[in-house]
Structure 1
Amino acid sequence: MPKGNVDFVKSILENVSFDAKLFAKELQKAVKSLLPYEIEELSNWFYSYTIEKPELREYAVYLTE
């Protein structure tokens, strides 16, 4: 995926972060479609983004599958 698609995934995740289950579903879909280095970038973003959203932190497990 081009860099723009990683940014697109981030924007989708930001938009659905109000619903933890939907966030988890979209995160799983994203991880399936990204390359390893893109998943690393997404992972870094995830940990920054969820500092103030502890209810989403449990879904970090999807980043290591």
Structure 2
Amino acid sequence: MLSMLEYIKTILQKVSFDKALFEKELAKAIQMLIPEEVKQLKRWCYAQFGKMYRVVLNRCFSRARFA
């Protein structure tokens, strides 16, 4: 069975064609995960989408309670 973190990564990859949708799903994901998973997601997101969506990532992760 897929972990919540792996599931979220799959979702983000599928919606990465649309900036607004990507940001919405990322913000939702950050709320659902525990702090350690948020850190893992942050590292993964910057590696995967850092060039394309750096502004979105900065905005979403700066709002996170524990990023």
Give ranges in structure 2 of 5+ residues lacking alignment: none
Q: Percent identity?
A: 36
Runs of at least 5 residues in structure 1 that lack an aligned partner in the other structure = none
What is the root-mean-square deviation in Å for CA atoms of aligned residues? 1.4
Per the normalisation by structure 2, the TM-score is 0.82
Q: TM-score, normalised by structure 1?
A: 0.85
Moved over 4 A (4+): none
**What is the number of residues matched between the two proteins?**
61
Whichever structure has more helix as a proportion of its residues is: 1
Q: Name the counterpart of 2:62.
A: 64
Structure 1 equivalent of residue 38 of structure 2: 39
